[in-house]
Structure 1
Amino acid sequence: MSARKKCKLVQAENLIPLATTATLNPIDWNLCALCQEPSSKPLNCPAQSKRTDSGAGYVTLGDNLKNILQLGKRPLSIDIARLDEGDGIGNTLARNHAQWHTSCRLCHGTVTYI
């Protein structure tokens, strides 16, 4: 049996095809990493979690975004590749203490492993 996981996108109504052009501005880590829009909505930051696995949120989101990128889609209007500084999306998110709106986290699409 293969050790490689297969993934299937199960919620894609909010995704945009990769061919859509995206602005090349650097990520502003003070804003939501997923939408880059200023808002009065609170931002969630896994680095501030009191859980023993406080960085796990970065790994999970990074893995999901990578899988969505491989499926040729991306969430909202940002280019997922901008969230990877060369050592993986999860590592980049963690290093920059990325934060996001709960609504944006839910809009990026749900990936289930089969």
Structure 2
Amino acid sequence: MPLCLLDKNIRKQRRKSVKKPEAMLVSSCMEYLSIRGAQVIRNNTGLLFIKDKNGKSRAIKTGSPGSPDLIAFLPEGRVLCIECKSKKGKLSDLQKAFIEKMRKNKHEVVVIRSLEDLMEVV
């Protein structure tokens, strides 16, 4: 394999293995909450494509659009919904609506941009 192709392949692998800031924040928050004794649910939302035994593909929706990244059940009985955003990340309209509805129903929801933000509320 020519060296230039090899270099491109290595760069692609590196790009895939580097976590995005939001994903890193989610991982850090999950670890911190676990250390604090919380049970944490990672709430992924999106589509999964699977093939049946005949090779036919179908999409399966996961999660609720706009729902928070994490749901933490803290040891003192508190339930905290956490939306993780990078420093420049913006809430989608669906996320804003979901958060507004949760807060209207007296649920605790926070939007954090750093682990320190989470440490201030937990």
More strand per residue: 2
More helix per residue: 2
TM-score (norm 2): 0.25
Higher relative contact order (CA 8 A, sep 6+): 1
Greater Cα radius of gyration, structure 1 or 2:
2
